Structure 1
């Protein structure tokens, strides 16, 4: 009952986790997807229409060319007169200030009544004409406006711009009005600029209304296309009229999508699209890659990569940040191929590319190029173990981009002079960014708990401190591990397993023997310490090398996949030598089988199963009295068949055909290792000198 409850809780937690990661993925992707309208067709004048039949799905006007509309608007705006409001209060304040200042200056004999009268008359003229701020005058001149409308009370009268004053021009007018009768120096001392204040204020609201009314007389459209009307069909050449219709349809499509209702429809469509794709992807994992589906690290990696590239694409499109073809999408299949497998790499890449495509204006071209690049990446980088492999893959991906895009341009353009060279530069940048897959692998290893081939190659270096110590402390075990690694790696290659993984696992599977090396046959030199121990004690010491190995692996930060080889290479088998010896010596005693049984578990992957077989076969082969094809074949069959009978491979994804292939590989390799040398013939002695010479040669 407890086991059933625990399984139920685990199943509930897994379902909850998968539901949460599904919802989180959909929400994050849809949040970043642009919801602005788009027109998913590419077209140009005098080019053939490369899509199917296009008909209008709604009524829309056929807009004029923007240059023509601009020309007509400029023509109409020649009659535009902005509105200004005349402010009488400003003139009154100015005259009051002049009067106050004159009384002071007259009292001190600074200004005569003649000058006062002259200034008042000149100011009256200036204010009657109108003073505008300097910046407003600059704007009128730049807009080439010849006259304005001046509103005073309920009337508005036109006035030429050339007659208007600014503060500067009004001051110069007062100063130079009558230089014969009025001295400029005296006028300058009167601080005339203090009395000159703009009295014409720009009426923006009224001016905009007038301008809008004028522009409304210009027609933006030259006709209308009705719903259901044919626009163009595949292969037809786009003339100027058709181009205007297509461009009008594009504008109307974008305008319609800006409404709240359209935004909601787009959001609903995006939610449905992303949900369906992610659901199909999860179904694929559940049906064909259940081990990844159950592994939280693997599931999280797959969804995280899909989110990452979709969000980056959406942001680049939204903010028009560079070209999306610079983004190294092939990193996704490279990472998944290195950590998982080719099929999952392609499926994840395809789903991600489809998600990214809905943000783009020309999705079909994008899908074609990116899927091709993904296939090239998966095929060219089956096992990443050297940096040079990544350079080769990046080159092949850039080449595939360039060749495929060039072929599309030849089909669509039919003119080499119109090739888009900027795209090829984007492909080159894409290839350079692909090289960042190497450091990203290390980052993903640490975050999601995977182990790449690069790490496995580094660990399999015999100069690694742990392996070097094994070769010094337990040289026999080290040699045994090397032989097992060669056997297992060759077998893994033949059955489609991960050869580098099983090779590295084989090198470390017996590191626990370093704790008590003398208790293992391969490290003994004449002295066998088991003679002074009971069978139970000996069995426990031998069995303990598994736990000792796990402790050393933990201490030296070995990856989990390597620890799996250590804990499963004996499975739940028995230390048969001590177990059988105990039964023979004490037939009447009840035996405690747990004392002679390894803790396990049994192998649960193709690679750990191969290692178990290779370990047992290699160890047993050393005890053969003679090495013949028959004896080696019988030994291999006996050991592996015995393991199968004991159910060691019951939960492994390994087939009978795979096991038969493994047997054949082991037999061939052992025959090569333990081949019988051909004895050299002796030269018959014909005389003493020849005999003497032969002796020297044999020595």
Structure 2
């Protein structure tokens, strides 16, 4: 049982990776839209590269969204407006006119025969006016139906009038009649007229919805066995529509029944292959990252987020799939790790998404090109302008790529979907979210970015200020080492900002007992003179351990603490070791050796060389170029013979380049000035 538990503990890191791998595969397949994948790839304007294609089933030719939208727009533009006729209004108007005329006749001297003529003329005018009716508002539509007595009948363009127009019409009608008291009759009729035709919005909308519901989403049928397209034939507009209809029918039918499990199995295998490539890349070329479960989790979380965002967009509105800022992925991974890893993960993520996005070739091409541009242009993100410039270039690549594909598919620049330009701009704006996202990831995963390194390199920070006050000599030494290490890192293409920050903090452990280190001794009194060599060595060695404790209390990132742990590797405190040998023959080297570990990166190796060279250079008297050259060679050679660089991914050529920079910098530091006369 004990051995079993030991094996579990030994392999728990690997077990976690297996678990992460399986969960990631399951989640990605779960995110995928539920549908099969058409087995043929085709593009408008390109030749059909497969054998003659015959219809495998009966299917309908579906109209495109543009065609359906045009039909809907046509119905909206030519919709019929419905108006209702109030039949009670004409009778009420007649009664009101009769009453008014009777009152007029009572005060006038017109004989009864003329009164009858006037009354008849007035009623005829009202009948004429209300033959069609008086509209509340003049219609603007060309198609009008008047609902009268539950019967809808069309009206001509000039057959309707509103209240002002009807009042004008009264005068025209009366002018054709030989009627006494025309002026009085006209006044009374105009006063009694009322509106009786009203726009029926509910009926109009109901009729429009009924017409819209009659729109067919298909146009024609394709029978099983019919030749759809021959090999080598160019996919033109009509064939393209038929192929798209077959593709939709095929993918919707394929997911049903027992096919479901086979499709699920296929997706699972393909996604599993892609993710296993990522694991193999990390294990082979990024061993440090592979061994760190936190960093592996960080990479997989970013991949899953991009897949989730894209698949959600495909399910909701695939036309806006480019809104998802996929270039955030290489941007963030390059910021925390390196460009090669960022591009590799980006390409694998794009390949996964190629299973589900429409126009997969176009999508994969544009996203890979945009990812390459991101890797090539995005640098020094702590400079705000650089991110804006990079995002601008990414957006431009999307726009140029869209133009090129549109020209290939359509053969012209007509029918460009200008809304896609807004989509690409929105993609660029969302990519700017990389900056706050980097800060969030730093806090969640304990990683460190260039922005944080820039903040840590500020010599006015609390910890460095404390170092300058308690151990000014060590602070000055750290500044010198930082300059040497940064120059060397730039020479061999290492992370100069990281090594500079590591150099600034590498000796903070000396703050515990600053006077026990020569650079902080301002008098000739050396406290080591009163201590045995073994105890002195312990104080010197302990500055590494003390530094790690101080760094952890001040929440320094682990990548910076690595410099504290490795800057002396497993070397000897040689001076006190030799003094102890003078006192006794049998000396335990372990008591005089730093605990390690040895450097495991280019940056930590550079710091070890720069630190040793700068510290030892203080003992040089009257240095010349030859003395400096021999001095640097001796120190670095001693470190190499002690196997201090075995775990660091630094080559012999790069070590030679570092030595060259160190010699040049020390020569500049110790360059003798001309002695000025007093």
| TM-score, length of structure 2 as denominator length | 0.73
Q: Counterpart in 1 of 2:307?
A: 310
Cα offset for 1:374? 0.8
Cα offset for 1:630? 0.6
Given candidates 383, 395, 400, the residue that maps to 1:398 is 395
Q: 1:533 to 1:413 in 2, by over 3 A?
A: same
Q: Counterpart in 1 of 2:421?
A: 424
Cα offset for 1:331? 0.7
CA deviations 1:603-636 (Å, max 9, x no partner) are 1222111111110000111110112111000110
Q: 1:382 to 1:234 in 2, by over 3 A?
A: farther
Contact 2:61–2:242 (CA<8 Å) still a contact in 1?
no
Q: Counterpart in 2 of 1:552?
A: 550
Q: Aligned ranges for residues 615-630 of structure 1 at < 5 Å?
A: 615-630=611-626
Q: Counterpart in 2 of 1:571?
A: 569
Q: Write the distance in 2 (CA, Å) between the matches of 1:613 and 1:606.
A: 11
How many residue pairs align between the two structures? 529
Contact 1:30–1:271 (CA<8 Å) still a contact in 2?
yes
Q: Are 1:21 and 2:20 an aligned pair?
A: yes
Q: Counterpart in 1 of 2:345?
A: 348
Q: Aligned ranges for residues 592-607 of structure 1 at < 5 Å?
A: 592-607=588-603
Which stretch has the larger CA shift, 320-329 or 545-554? 320-329
Cα offset for 1:245? 3.6
Given candidates 482, 498, 501, the residue that maps to 1:501 is 498
Contact 2:255–2:263 (CA<8 Å) still a contact in 1?
no
Contact 1:327–1:430 (CA<8 Å) still a contact in 2?
yes
Q: Look up the SS of the partner of 2:281 in the other structure.
A: helix
Q: 1:519 to 1:249 in 2, by over 3 A?
A: same
Cα offset for 1:582? 2.4
Q: Write the distance in 2 (CA, Å) between the matches of 1:573 and 1:6.
A: 36
Q: Write the distance in 1 (CA, Å) between the matches of 2:550 and 2:614.
A: 24
| TM-score, length of structure 1 as denominator length | 0.71
Cα offset for 1:662? 1.0
Q: Write the distance in 2 (CA, Å) between the matches of 1:65 and 1:660.
A: 69
Contact 2:318–2:357 (CA<8 Å) still a contact in 1?
no
Q: Look up the SS of the partner of 1:260 in the other structure.
A: coil
Q: Are 1:444 and 2:441 an aligned pair?
A: yes
Q: Write the distance in 2 (CA, Å) between the matches of 1:504 and 1:26.
A: 39
Q: Aligned ranges for residues 637-652 of structure 1 at < 5 Å?
A: 637-652=633-648
Contact 1:62–1:223 (CA<8 Å) still a contact in 2?
yes
Contact 1:55–1:232 (CA<8 Å) still a contact in 2?
yes
Q: 1:34 to 1:571 in 2, by over 3 A?
A: same
Q: Aligned ranges for residues 130-209 of structure 1 at < 5 Å?
A: none
Contact 1:384–1:390 (CA<8 Å) still a contact in 2?
yes
Contact 1:377–1:397 (CA<8 Å) still a contact in 2?
yes
Which stretch has the larger CA shift, 600-609 or 360-369? 600-609
Q: Counterpart in 2 of 1:453?
A: 450
Q: Counterpart in 2 of 1:655?
A: 651
Given candidates 568, 587, 604, the residue that maps to 1:591 is 587
Q: Aligned ranges for residues 487-566 of structure 1 at < 5 Å?
A: 487-526=484-523, 527-566=525-564
Cα-Cα RMSD: 2.9
Q: Are 1:236 and 2:234 an aligned pair?
A: yes
Contact 1:35–1:267 (CA<8 Å) still a contact in 2?
no
Q: Write the distance in 2 (CA, Å) between the matches of 1:577 and 1:43.
A: 76
Q: Counterpart in 1 of 2:58?
A: 61
Q: Aligned ranges for residues 157-306 of structure 1 at < 5 Å?
A: 224-226=223-225, 229=227, 231-234=229-232, 236=234, 238=236, 240=238, 242=239, 245-306=242-303
CA deviations 1:170-193 (Å, max 9, x no partner) are xxxxxxxxxxxxxxxxxxxxxxxx
Contact 1:565–1:608 (CA<8 Å) still a contact in 2?
yes
Given candidates 619, 630, 634, the residue that maps to 2:630 is 634
Q: Write the distance in 2 (CA, Å) between the matches of 1:343 and 1:65.
A: 45
Q: Counterpart in 2 of 1:388?
A: 385
Cα offset for 1:491? 1.1
Contact 2:228–2:242 (CA<8 Å) still a contact in 1?
no
Q: 1:61 to 1:459 in 2, by over 3 A?
A: same
Q: Look up the SS of the partner of 1:599 in the other structure.
A: coil
Q: Write the distance in 2 (CA, Å) between the matches of 1:51 and 1:384.
A: 46
Q: Write the distance in 1 (CA, Å) between the matches of 2:59 and 2:437.
A: 52
Q: What 5-or-longer segments of structure 1 have no aligned partner? A: 72-143, 145-160, 163-214, 681-697
Q: Write the distance in 2 (CA, Å) between the matches of 1:425 and 1:251.
A: 28
Q: Write the distance in 2 (CA, Å) between the matches of 1:278 and 1:271.
A: 11
Q: Aligned ranges for residues 104-115 of structure 1 at < 5 Å?
A: none
CA deviations 1:56-76 (Å, max 9, x no partner) are 3653336467699xx9xxxxx
Contact 1:550–1:563 (CA<8 Å) still a contact in 2?
yes
Contact 1:41–1:361 (CA<8 Å) still a contact in 2?
no
Q: Write the distance in 2 (CA, Å) between the matches of 1:43 and 1:366.
A: 14
Q: Look up the SS of the partner of 2:487 in the other structure.
A: helix
Q: Write the distance in 2 (CA, Å) between the matches of 1:616 and 1:405.
A: 56
Q: 1:677 to 1:411 in 2, by over 3 A?
A: same
Contact 1:636–1:667 (CA<8 Å) still a contact in 2?
yes
Q: Counterpart in 2 of 1:694?
A: none
Q: Counterpart in 2 of 1:611?
A: 607
Q: Write the distance in 1 (CA, Å) between the matches of 2:313 and 2:384.
A: 29
CA deviations 1:139-179 (Å, max 9, x no partner) are xxxxx9xxxxxxxxxxxxxxxx99xxxxxxxxxxxxxxxxx
Q: Write the distance in 2 (CA, Å) between the matches of 1:223 and 1:58.
A: 7
Cα offset for 1:346? 0.9
Q: Counterpart in 2 of 1:48?
A: 45
CA deviations 1:65-93 (Å, max 9, x no partner) are 7699xx9xxxxxxxxxxxxxxxxxxxxxx
